[in-house]
Amino acid sequence: MSVVRQHPVRPSGRITRLVVALVAVLATVTGCAGATDGQTVRLAQFPWSAAKLTNAILAEVVAAHPDLGVGELKTIQVGPATAWAGAQRGDVDVLTEVAMPNQSELAAKAEPRIGLVHPTYDGAEQGWYVPTAMLGPGQPLEGLRSVTQLNDYAAALDNRLVDSDPSFLTTEQNAKRLAGYGLDLEQITSSEAAQIAELRRAAERGTPILVYLYRPHYVFEEIELTRLEEPNPARDDCFTTGDGACAMPAYSAWTAAAGDLTTAAPRFAELLGRFELPLADVEQMLQRVDVGNEDVEMVAREYVAANPDRVREWVGAP
CA dist 210 and 274 (Å) reads 37
Element (H, E) at 162: strand 160-162
Give the percent of the chain with pLDDT over 90. Answer: 73
Dihedral pair phi/psi, residue 165, rounded to 5°: -60, 130
CA distances, 269 to each of 156, 265, 273 (Å):
51, 6, 7
The pLDDT value recorded for residue 181 is 97
Cα 4 off chain centre by: 17
The pLDDT value recorded for residue 16 is 33
Closest CA to 2 of 79, 94, 78: 78
Query: Is the pLDDT score of 156 beyond 60?
Result: yes
The pLDDT value recorded for residue 24 is 34
With vertex at residue 35, the alpha carbon angle to CA 32 and CA 37, rounded to the nearest 5 degrees, is 125
Closest CA to 95 of 272, 300, 299, 238: 272
pLDDT digits (tens, 9 = 90+) for 94-136: 999 998 988 988 999 999 899 999 999 988 889 999 999 999 9
Average of pLDDT values for 272-294? 92
pLDDT digits (tens, 9 = 90+) for 298-310: 999 999 999 999 9
Task: Say if residues 94 and 259 touch (Cβ distance below 8 Å).
Answer: no
pLDDT digits (tens, 9 = 90+) for 16-43: 333 333 333 333 333 343 334 689 999 9
Average pLDDT of the residues of the chain: 87
pLDDT digits (tens, 9 = 90+) for 207-261: 999 999 988 888 988 899 999 999 999 998 999 999 999 999 888 999 999 999 9
pLDDT digits (tens, 9 = 90+) for 195-208: 999 999 999 999 99
Does the predicted model carry a pTM greater than 0.85? no
The pLDDT value recorded for residue 168 is 83
Q: DSSP for 210-258?
A: -EEEESS-GGGGTS-EEEPB-SS---TTTTTTS-S-SPPPPEEEEEEEE
The pLDDT value recorded for residue 14 is 33
Closest CA to 5 of 57, 96, 20, 13: 20
Q: Give CA torsion, residues 222, 301, 121, 292, to 10 deg.
A: 10
Query: Is the pLDDT score of 58 beyond 60?
Result: yes
Helix (H/G/I), strand (E/B), else coil: 270:
helix
What does the buried/exposed string (b/e) look like for 145-169 if buried means 16 or more CB atoms within 10 Å of the residue's CB? eebbebeebbebbebebbbbbebbb
What does the buried/exposed string (b/e) look like for 185-210 if buried means 16 or more CB atoms within 10 Å of the residue's CB? bebbbeebeebbebbeebbeeeebbb
49-64 vs 308-315: helix axis angle to the nearest 10?
80
Total length of the chain:
318
Query: Is the pLDDT score of 155 beyond 70?
Result: yes
CA dist 281 and 213 (Å) reads 18
Helix (H/G/I), strand (E/B), else coil: 177:
helix
Closest CA to 275 of 316, 217, 306: 316
Q: How confident is the model at residue 157 (pLDDT cuts 50, 70, 90)?
A: very high
The pLDDT value recorded for residue 37 is 63
Element (H, E) at 31: none
The pLDDT value recorded for residue 276 is 97
Query: Is the pLDDT score of 15 beyond 90?
Result: no
Q: What is the DSSP letter of 68?
A: G
